[in-house]
């Protein structure tokens, strides 16, 4: 089908863009890469009188090292995220997650900021942002503010941003030392949204105990989820004594709003989720171990 | 709702048209440029038949508004063959390997495979399968298409 008619705006600066959003109110929507928004418009699941294309704003471009981490402009496309040496150095989890986002033709258009602002719990980047404690740089007509990923994702496809705010960039702090990363997903077909998935980061100390770990869960609730109680239980333990299946069980224990749909019941999703966490844990630990004892 | 003027380059030729912002790049190519080699299957980004190159990168032209592509260089399946209709190596391989039957999806495969082999001239079987997974074919069962990619990769390397 064809999208309903709309007026198109292509502001050249962030200030122009948020001024437009403030002026147009609920009738306007930010258009980034469009790989989620345009299908929804084409299927007439939604319609807006105004689309504000932010991809021509220079401030939203580029990947920069920042404070040991990496700052990614909101309009940077998935393909660029996936091949960026700065991203691979500071946030390898993001590099590993990228090939699982749609197909390569989608990754050539879709943007990191669009994926995160869309806040789909079944998407890879929101879970990575939550697991890695990313911070979101947000602009409004009255100024700028920064939110943590935990504050940012509030509900299904819903963020803490106001209608006249827009995402400008996302900063991912680096993990140092003996860190390892892995992403595991189960989908019926490559490129489909996952039925459940896990993105795991783990850092080991010099005695092979877990110094810290982070688990991002995909498609296991209304938002990307992070089982912080499970993470806390694992910290300080010798990694060789941790059964990956136990990590999977722990990670599922605190989930209260796993969805049931045509792709699987909530119970099935939990089982798949536990298996994905176990697999990702195993691979992340192996990855950390190859960093060598300090 | 205001129309917008869109200027872009298609297969090396400058094109200008005044269109509704909601016009997709796919419809721009088919209706404004009369380049009907770009096929529209699902019109919501699933089937891949409408894939074209925008500034060299394979994208679904049903998921790009023409106005978003203003200023870009677009290459469609019509721009990949020789000027006198000679098939490109990817097209020739698809023909040789029976990589098409009804041909509806073929433009999307030709464009996607062309970009894929440019970036990855000697792909593994797994990489090829992943690259093909973004385009749907309901006739061939994909095996002929897979062989065509392998043949085209070999042909490119032999050059």
pLDDT digits (tens, 9 = 90+) for A99-145: 999 999 999 999 999 999 999 999 999 999 999 999 999 999 999 99
pLDDT mean over A188-213? 94
Q: What is the mean pLDDT of residues A178-191?
A: 92
In a domain, A2, yes or no: no
Inter-chain CB proximity B1 and A5 less than 8 Å:
yes
Q: Do A83 and A183 have their domain in common? A: no
Q: In this structure, is residue A56 part of a structural domain?
A: no
Query: What is the per-residue pLDDT for A193?
Result: 87
Q: Which of A122, A153, A172 is the last residue of a domain?
A: A172
The full DSSP string for chain A is: -PPPP-EEE--SSHHHHHHHHHHHGGGEEEESS-TTHHHHHHTTS---SEEEE-TT-GGG--EEEETTEEEEETT-BHHHHHH-HHHHHH-HHHHHHGGGSS-HHHHTT-BHHHHHHHT-TTSHHHHHHHHTT-EEEEEETTEEEEEEHHHHEEETTEES--TT-EEEEEEEPPP-SEEEEEEEEE-SSTTSPPSEEEEEEEEE-TTSBEEEEEEEEESSSSS-B--HHHHHHHTTSBGGG--HHHHHHHHHHT------BTTB-HHHHHHHHHHHHHHHHHHHHHHHHTT---
| Beta strand pairing call for B4-10 and B73-75 | parallel
Task: Indicate whether A205 and A262 sit together in one domain.
Answer: yes
Question: For residue A189, is it within any domain?
Answer: yes
pLDDT at A294: 45
State the average pLDDT over residues A281-291: 95
Inter-chain residue contact A7 with B62, CB threshold 8 Å: no
| Range A54-81 burial, b when 16+ CB lie within 10 A, else e | bbbbebbbebeebeebbbbbbbbbbbbb
Question: Over 90: is that where the pLDDT of B155 sits?
Answer: no
- Residue range B4-20, pLDDT digits in tens: 999 999 999 999 999 99
B52 Cβ neighbours under 8 A, 6+ residues apart? B25, B26, B29, B38, B58, B59, B61, B74, B75, B76, B77, B111
Complex ipTM value? 0.96
Tell me whether residues B59 and A79 touch, CB distance under 8 A. no
* Token pair in block for residue A30: 């930010």
Q: Nearest CB to A6: which of B21, B24, B68?
A: B21
On whether any CB of chain B is under 8 Å from the CB of A103, the answer is yes
Residues of chain B positioned with their CB less than 8 A from the CB of A49? 1
What residues make up the domain containing A74? 62-172
The pLDDT of residue A173 is above 70: yes
Give domain status of residue A167, yes or no: yes
Residue with tokens 């994208």: B59
Q: Is the pLDDT of residue A292 over 70?
A: no
For residues A97 and A147, membership in a common domain is answered with: yes
Nearest chain A Cα distance for residue B38, angstroms: 15
Question: Band of the pLDDT at A174, cuts 50, 70, 90?
Answer: very high
Question: Please, are residues A98 and A91 in contact by the beta-carbon 8 Å criterion?
Answer: no
Which tokens is A224 given? Answer: 């990307």
Q: Which residues of A touch B129 (CB under 8 A)?
A: 190
pLDDT interval class at B158 (50, 70, 90): low
pLDDT digits (tens, 9 = 90+) for A210-234: 999 999 999 999 999 999 999 999 9
Q: Are A201 and A284 in contact (CB under 8 A)?
A: yes
* A36 and A77 fall within a common domain: no
Residue A234 lies in a domain: yes
Non-local CB neighbours of B60 within 8 Å, separated by 6+ positions: A105, A106, A109, B45, B48, B50, B51
Mean pLDDT throughout A74-99?
A: 97
Q: Both A167 and A182 in a single domain?
A: no
Asked if B130 reaches chain A (Cβ–Cβ under 8 Å), the answer is yes
Mutate to test the interface with B, among A98, A104, A191 (most CBs of B within 10 A): A104
Same domain, A229 and A128: no
A71/A154 same-domain check: yes
By the CB < 8 Å criterion, does A38 face chain B?
A: yes
User: What digits encode the pLDDT tens for the residues B78-123?
Assistant: 999 998 989 999 999 999 999 999 999 999 999 999 999 999 999 9
By Cβ distance, the residue of A8, A41, A105 closest to B112 is A105
| pLDDT tens-digit readout, A12-54 | 999 999 999 999 999 999 999 999 999 999 999 999 999 999 9
β-sheet bridge partners, residue A198: A184, A217
Q: Give the count of beta carbons closer than 10 Å to the beta carbon of residue A259.
A: 16
Q: What is the pLDDT of residue A68?
A: 86
Nearest by CB: B57 against A3, A49, A108: A108
CA distance A89 to A69: 9
d(CA A159, CA A52): 18
Could you tell me the two tokens for B66?
Answer: 């023409």
Give the mean pLDDT of chain A.
96
Domains held by chain A: number? 3
Q: Order the strands of the A28-31 sheet from edge to edge.
A: A7-9, A50-53, A28-31
Go through the domains of chain B in sequence order and give each one's CATH number: 4-79 (3.10.20.30), 89-158 (1.10.150.120)
Q: What is the mean pLDDT of chain B?
A: 96
Q: In what order do the strands lie in the sheet with A135-140?
A: A63-66, A69-73, A166-172, A135-140, A143-148
Name the CA dihedral angle for B85, B89, B92, B94, rounded to a multiple of 10 degrees: -130
Cβ within 8 Å, pair A103-B134: yes
CATH value at residue A284: 3.30.390.50
Task: Name the percent of chain A lying above pLDDT 90.
Answer: 93
Residue A41 lies in a domain: yes
Q: What is the mean pLDDT of residues A50-66?
A: 97
A91 pLDDT above the threshold of 80: yes
Do A232 and A250 lie in a common domain? yes
* CATH code where residue A71 lies: 3.30.465.10
B76 touches chain A (CB under 8 A): no
Rounded mean pLDDT, A59-79: 96
Higher pLDDT, A67 or A234: A234
> How many A×B Cβ pairs under 8 Å?
89
In a domain? residue A256: yes
How many of the other CB atoms lie within 10 Å of CB of A32? 28
Q: At which of A172, A202, A230 does a domain end?
A: A172
pLDDT at A176: 86
> Looking at the predicted structure, is the pLDDT value of residue B48 above 50?
yes
**Residue A1 included in any domain:** no
Domain termination site, one of A128, A157, A172: A172
B54 interaction partners in chain A (CB closer than 8 Å): 108
**A72: Cα separation from own chain's centroid:** 12
* Contact between A34 and B68 using a beta-carbon 8 Å cutoff: yes
Whether residue A18 is found in the same domain as residue A76: no
Find, in chain B, the residue whose alpha carbon is nearest to that of A43.
B44
Residues A167 and A268 in one domain: no
Mean pLDDT value of segment A176-198: 92
Residues of B in contact with A190 (CB under 8 A): 129-130, 133
Q: Tell me how close the Cα of B21 comes to any Cα of chain A, in angstroms.
A: 6
Whether residues A41 and A75 share a domain: the answer is no
Taking the CA of residue B45 and the nearest CA in chain A, the distance in Å comes to 7
Which band of pLDDT confidence, cut at 50, 70 and 90, is reported for residue A191? confident
pLDDT higher than 90, residue A272: yes
Q: Which of B21, B27, B133 sits opposite A191 (nearest CB)?
A: B133
Instruction: State the pLDDT at residue B156.
Output: 55
Please check whether residues A36 and A18 belong to one and the same domain. Answer: yes
């Amino acid at each position: 089908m064809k999208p309903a008619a709309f007026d198109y705006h292509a502001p050249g600066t962030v200030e122009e863009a948020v001024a437009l959003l403030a002026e147009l109110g609920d009738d306007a929507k930010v258009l980034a890469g469009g790989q989620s928004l345009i299908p929804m418009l084409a299927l007439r699941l939604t319609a807006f009188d105004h689309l504000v294309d932010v991809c021509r704003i220079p401030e939203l471009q580029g990947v920069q090292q920042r404070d040991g981490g990496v700052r990614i402009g909101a309009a940077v496309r998935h393909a660029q995220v996936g091949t960026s040496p700065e991203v691979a150095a500071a946030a390898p989890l993001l590099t590993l997650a990228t090939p699982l986002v749609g197909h390569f033709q989608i990754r050539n258009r879709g943007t990191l900021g669009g994926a995160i602002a869309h806040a789909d719990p079944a998407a890879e980047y929101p879970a990575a942002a939550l697991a890695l404690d990313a911070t979101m740089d947000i602009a409004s007509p009255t100024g700028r503010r920064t939110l943590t990923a935990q504050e940012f994702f509030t509900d299904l496809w819903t963020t803490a941003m106001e209608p006249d705010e827009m995402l400008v960039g996302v900063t991912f702090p680096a993990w140092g030392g003996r860190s390892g990363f892995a992403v595991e997903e189960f989908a019926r077909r490559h490129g489909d949204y996952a039925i459940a998935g896990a993105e795991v980061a783990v850092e080991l100390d010099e005695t092979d105990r877990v110094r810290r770990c982070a688990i991002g869960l995909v498609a296991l609730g209304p938002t990307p989820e992070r089982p912080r109680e499970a993470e806390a239980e694992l910290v300080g333990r010798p990694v060789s004594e941790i059964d990956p299946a136990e990590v999977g069980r722990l990670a599922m224990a605190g989930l209260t709003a796993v969805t049931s749909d045509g792709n699987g019941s909530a119970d099935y999703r939990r089982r798949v989720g536990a298996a994905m966490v176990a697999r990702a844990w195993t691979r992340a630990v192996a990855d950390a171990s190859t960093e060598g004892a300090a | 709702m205001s129309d917008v003027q869109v200027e872009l380059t298609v297969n090396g030729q400058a094109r200008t048209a005044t269109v509704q912002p909601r016009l997709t790049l796919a419809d721009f190519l088919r209706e404004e440029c009369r380049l009907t080699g770009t096929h529209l299957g699902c019109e919501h980004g699933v089937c891949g038949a409408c894939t074209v190159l925008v500034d060299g990168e394979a994208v679904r032209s049903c998921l790009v508004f023409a106005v978003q592509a203003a200023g870009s260089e677009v290459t469609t399946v019509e721009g990949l063959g020789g000027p006198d209709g000679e098939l490109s190596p990817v097209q020739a391989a698809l023909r040789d390997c029976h990589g098409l039957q009804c041909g509806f999806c073929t433009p999307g495969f030709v464009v996607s495979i062309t970009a894929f082999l440019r970036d990855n001239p000697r792909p593994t079987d797994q990489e090829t399968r992943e690259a093909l997974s973004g385009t749907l074919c309901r006739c061939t069962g994909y095996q002929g298409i897979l062989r065509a990619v392998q043949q085209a990769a070999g042909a490119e390397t032999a050059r």
